[in-house]
Amino acid sequence: MEKYKKSWNFHGREITVENGEIAKQAGGAVVVRYNDTVVLSTATANNEAKDTDFFPLTVLYQEKMYAAGKIPGGFLRREGRASEHATLTARLIDRPIRPLFAEGFRNEVQVVNTVLSVDPDCSSEMLALFGSSLALCVSDIPFNGPVAGVQVGRVNGEFIINPSVEESKNSDINLTVAGTKNAINMVEAGAKEVSEEDMLQALQIGHDAIKELCEIQEEVIAACAKEKMEVVLYEIDPAIKALIDEKGADRIREAVSIKGKLERYGKIDELIAEMEEEVAKLDYESEAAREKAVKQAHEYGVEVEANEVRRLISEDKIRPDGRALDELRPLDSQVDLLPRVHGSAMFTRGETQVLSVTTLGALSDAQIIDDLTTETEKTFMHQYNFPPFSVGEVGRMGAPGRREIGHGALGERALAQVLPSVEEFPYAIRTSAEVLESNGSSSQASICAGTMSLMAAGVPIKAMVAGVAMGLITVGDTYSILTDIQGMEDHYGDMDFKVAGTRDGITALQMDIKVTGISQEILREALAQAHKGRMEILDNMETAIKEPRPEVSEYAPKMDTLTIPVDKIRVVIGKGGEQIDKIIEECNDVKIDIDDEGRCVIYHTDREMINKAKGIIEDLIREAKVGDVYDATVAEVRDSYAFVTLFQGTDALLHVSNLAWERVENIKDVLNVGDTIQVKVTNIDDNGKIKVSHKDLLEKPEGYEEKKNDYKSRNNKEESANVEKRTFKKKGSE
């Protein structure tokens, strides 16, 4: 195989494709470069089909930390479990690729993307999607590509393809869109309350760029593609279909219209099991043949169910639960279900129910990020949990899977657009979405519940966010768009289009489809229908809570902030953290976060402890100035002078001559340790030593004349020695 290498200019950056030199034993392999970002993409398939009722496709996105010049964290110091970002990227690649394999294809396929070098401004995620498509297209695997994806941003009204990190920070749209030359087939987006029209424009601009990438791939395919392997597509035995059509298909179709989910599913399962028994009674060559026939009977029963769902919607415009196409299920919103958490809410939509709990913590509780992105920590976390009991099943419980991570990321993206900045609300925020009951659209219900729990917790969000999932049924040239899809409509439909936003605009999108692509017309209609549904949901949510609580919960940490001069941070922290540990101990385990710019946030459930800690810190960083007046405490008394404490950590010298206008023979006759005396700062020398006067705050007696007396100490040597020993300036200022 000869080596192939060629480069193209793509919106100001160079894309290079190499084939024929690296990973030659894989079914298909390409090295793709996007300026300094380099990804190796491979695609390999088994020659034999698997005996499964689904297409066994695995897509991996491997982050090699050396690609960004990093050594992995953790004890082992090597790559291990995929990061959340890697998992989400693998999903992002899987979703537009999966619909482009033939129905009935059952050969196991594995697509592996290894990130070898990364330039943060040249998307390794989009390059991996480009490489995955190319690896499949040049391989021996039957694949109806090419497919590609781009990121679209908008800065100051101008759309940008694959924006840089800095441009993304300033963008009000962060859209990832994928598709073929003919249509869009995957969307993922976060946005700062943008209109449906603006989002449609971004989608169109993104698709125009996708067409360019597909044309590049077509050129590579023409030069490098292998001959495709011969495969036998899986089909159900026509005799089994005929038997079920005769004995049970009509009854399955009738059961589809039962309104209750569990009752409907129970009846359908019962009828399909009956058909399995009928098929099992027939004569077979072997037990294995019998088992295969029974399995196909089950599959065809499900196919009958799916076809009836699609027929009802497309022809009769009737949904399984009797709703109109644009009708929402019954809604219910509640807050304050849990007394001791910081904020709680529950949102119910039909047979889907989510409990959301908000927890507030110090900024030091932020999530540490260890991946190839430039993000190092995350102060807002939205986590989605889907236990098997929520669908009446028994199943695995443990670490979150790809689906849970993906749904959590979607909700996080939707809610993050309306959160206050860290400067406005210096907390780490975690919302936990517990799916209690599910019949579709649970990720969108988690957004609704999350919004309300944030408001109940006193987080000053800018607007309420609601989410709704849209569906699509296409039959020939006709289509039907569904609002608020339930599980059956999602499973047997052609599209799952999730739209979240406020009254003013969209904050997040996610679209997956099972057909090869959808048109701009369908997207436009789906967004308009979603807008209507979103307004109805927001109306219901407002019956439970209209605006964020003015204060955080009594069980949540209260906070206060102050700014410490950078050169005083070490004074507050102290040697080896000694000073700050002392403050924490004195103030009943108050929590103190100080960043490199001197921003200090103090947290505690008791406001009195916060005020105490703040007072101590303010004293530590306070600096006396000439002319300042203090109620000082006498710390030490000598024959002709006293040391007085102006505030914690700062002492000053009060000489007997500055005690009163009249002569004082012995300062000990006037002052005792512990006395309070008002003084005025009169001098601060170059070494920071402070002198104060009480006399300057007293009214000068009428007719007073200056008298020449030097007020020398009877033991001048003792005074000089003690003045040097005593610190009467800011402690720690040298």
Cα separation, 512 vs 471, whole angstroms: 10
pLDDT at residue number 163: 96
Strand pairing category for 506-513 and 495-501: antiparallel
CATH number assigned to the domain with residue range 629-725, chosen from the 4 options 2.40.50.140, 3.30.710.10, 3.30.720.110, 3.40.50.720: 2.40.50.140
Backbone angles phi, psi at 442, to 5 degrees: -70, -30
Cα 559 to Cα 424, 479, 562, 607, 644: the distances in Å are 12, 54, 10, 8, 33
The pair of structure tokens assigned to 669 is 């006759």
Backbone angles phi, psi at 602, to 5 degrees: -115, 130
Is residue 377 within 8 Å of 369, Cβ to Cβ?
Answer: yes
Cα 27 to Cα 229, 270, 479: the distances in Å are 10, 43, 38
Buried b (16+ CB within 10 A) or exposed e, 133-172: bbbbbbbbbbbebbbbbbbbbbbeeebbbbbbeebbeebb
Per-residue pLDDT band for 500 (boundaries 50, 70, 90) equals: very high
47: amino acid identity, one letter: N
Residue percentage of the chain with pLDDT more than 90: 70
Helix then strand count (H, E) for the chain reads: 16, 29
Cα separation, 232 vs 179, whole angstroms: 27
Residue 730 is classified by DSSP as B
Per-residue pLDDT band for 1 (boundaries 50, 70, 90) equals: low
Residue 327 is classified by DSSP as P
Lowest average pLDDT, out of 10-19, 119-128, 659-668, goes to 659-668
Give the closest residue to 112 by CA, choosing from 45, 30, 42: 42
* pLDDT averaged over every residue in the chain: 91
- 240-265 per-position pLDDT tens digit: 999 999 988 999 999 988 888 888 88
* 23, pLDDT greater than 70: yes
331-541 and 629-725: same fold? Answer: no
SS3 328: coil
| Mean pLDDT on 294-315 | 90
* Opening angle at CA 508, ends 536 and 348, nearest 5: 40
pLDDT at residue number 425: 94
How would you classify residue 155: left for phi > 0, otherwise alpha for psi between -120 and 50, otherwise beta? beta
175: amino acid identity, one letter: L
What is the topology classification, in CATH, of domain 4-224? Ribosomal Protein S5; domain 2 (3.30.230)
| Mean pLDDT on 275-281 | 90
Is residue 115 within 8 Å of 60, Cβ to Cβ?
Answer: no
CATH code for the part of the protein at 238-316: 1.10.10
List the beta strands (DSSP E) in 27-168.
28-34, 37-49, 57-63, 107-117, 148-155, 158-161
Give the closest residue to 706 by CA, choosing from 656, 654, 663, 666: 663
Strand pairing category for 184-194 and 158-161: unpaired
CATH 3.30.1370.10 describes domain 558-621: yes
All residues at 6 or more sequence positions from 507 whose CB lies less than 8 Å from its CB, including other chains = 190, 191, 192, 193, 413, 414, 415, 417, 418, 465, 500, 501
| Mean pLDDT on 70-97 | 89
Beta bridge partners of 182: none
pLDDT at residue number 344: 97
pLDDT at residue number 707: 59
Is residue 327 within 8 Å of 347, Cβ to Cβ?
Answer: no
Per-residue pLDDT band for 662 (boundaries 50, 70, 90) equals: confident
Cα separation, 500 vs 507, whole angstroms: 6
Lowest average pLDDT, out of 245-249, 275-279, 721-725, goes to 721-725
Please state the domain extents for the chain: 4-224, 238-316, 331-541, 558-621, 629-725
pLDDT at residue number 674: 92
- 682-719 per-position pLDDT tens digit: 999 888 899 999 999 998 887 777 655 444 444 444 44
- 324-355 per-position pLDDT tens digit: 999 999 999 999 999 999 999 999 999 999 99
The pair of structure tokens assigned to 596 is 């490199």
Is residue 380 within 8 Å of 429, Cβ to Cβ?
Answer: yes
Is residue 441 within 8 Å of 328, Cβ to Cβ?
Answer: no
Residues listed for the chain: 734
Cα separation, 549 vs 459, whole angstroms: 7
* 722, pLDDT greater than 50: no
The three state secondary structure string of 149-203 is EEEEEEECCEEEECCCHHHHHCCCEEEEEEECCCCEEEEEEEEEEECHHHHHHHH
Cα separation, 474 vs 482, whole angstroms: 11
CATH 3.30.230.70 describes domain 331-541: yes
Cα separation, 10 vs 571, whole angstroms: 53
Is residue 405 within 8 Å of 336, Cβ to Cβ?
Answer: no
